[in-house]
Amino acid sequence: MTSDVRAAVFRPDDERIDAAVELLESLGAAPVPDPMLAVEPTGATPAAEDWIVLTSKTGVVLADEAGWSPTDTDLACIGPATAEAARGVGWTVDLVPEEFSSAGLVAALTDAVDTGETVEVARSDHGSAVLLDGLDEAGVAVNETVLYRLVRPDGAGASTETAAAGELDAALFTSSLTVEHFLDAARERGVAEAAVAGLNGELVTNDGDGSGGVGSEASGGVGSANSGDVASDDGRTATSGGGAVVGCIGTPTAETAREHGIAVDVVPDEATFEALACAVVETAAPSHRGE
């Protein structure tokens, strides 16, 4: 039923992309792996504060490998995957918010942190400002340590040309940075507008001056195209189908995608990759879409 679903996935260039491919295959999809993130450790470890906040499994792994552990401090994790990783190395997790997001952490920590206690946020260099700003506005003393940098791997972006050709049935974005790196890679290849149009099922027309316009094949305005040609930024032409089912983990990722003109179809209630993959593949399956 789902074997025709070509699903682009952008997980970090480590065991997570392998696990994502395996999961998508188990769901009957045809994965198009294109890692948009690589981890560069800074060598730093969390500072000693009353509360330590970790926002990713990567942060747990790097801190543990550096010999750090939460001693005489409370530990908060942004979601179940991070908490599972922390417990897996023998740490006690004291708080996981009901909403697995920066906003959820702000709400949970505001209730949990006692007056005068301090909070250390240990994460990547691309962490959301929502967490630090929210805690600061709540009157919580907060410090941030960058454990690692997230960069785009060399050679990433082959999926942008597949999207521009209208040959993707699904795309799974797991963070705002994966969206941004996808678009950066598309721009480098000269297919930025065509890639977005391919995801949206729209038609890019070449106006003759090198610029493109986006419109519906049927109406000439913005909308979905059933078939047609997509012109890339460098004037090349590619075929557009009915668009891809675009899924995002969390509202911030979805908002970033929409800000860049990408139509978002799926945002699962549970902010995990498994939930995202299941929802996207189910939505993109030919039987579900009436094909």
Domain CATH for 271: 3.40.50.10090
Range of the domain at 200: 6-37+155-284
Look at residues 129, 214, 126, 213 and name the one whose alpha carbon lies nearest to residue 178: 126
59-93, pLDDT tens digit by residue? 999 999 999 999 999 999 999 989 999 999 999 99
> What residues of the chain score a pLDDT lower than 50?
1-2, 207-241
DSSP, res 52: E
Q: Are strands 229-231 and 237-239 parallel, antiparallel or unpaired?
A: antiparallel
Q: Rounded CA gap, 254 and 266, in Å?
A: 9
Q: What is the pLDDT of residues 258-269, one digit of tens each?
A: 999 999 999 999
Can you give the pTM of this predicted structure? 0.75
Which has the closest alpha carbon to 157: 63, 58, 19, 33?
A: 33
**Do 166 and 272 belong to one domain?**
yes
Specify whether 163 is located in the same domain as 27: yes
How many structural domains comprise the chain? 2
Residue 168 shares a structural domain with residue 70:
no
Contact 171, 239 (CB under 8 A): no
The whole-angstrom separation of Cα 192 and Cα 273 is 25
Q: Is residue 291 part of a domain?
A: no
CA–chain centroid gap for 157, Å, is 15
Return the pLDDT at 218.
Answer: 30
Q: What is the pLDDT of residue 222?
A: 30
Angle, helices 192-200/176-188, rounded to nearest 10 degrees: 130
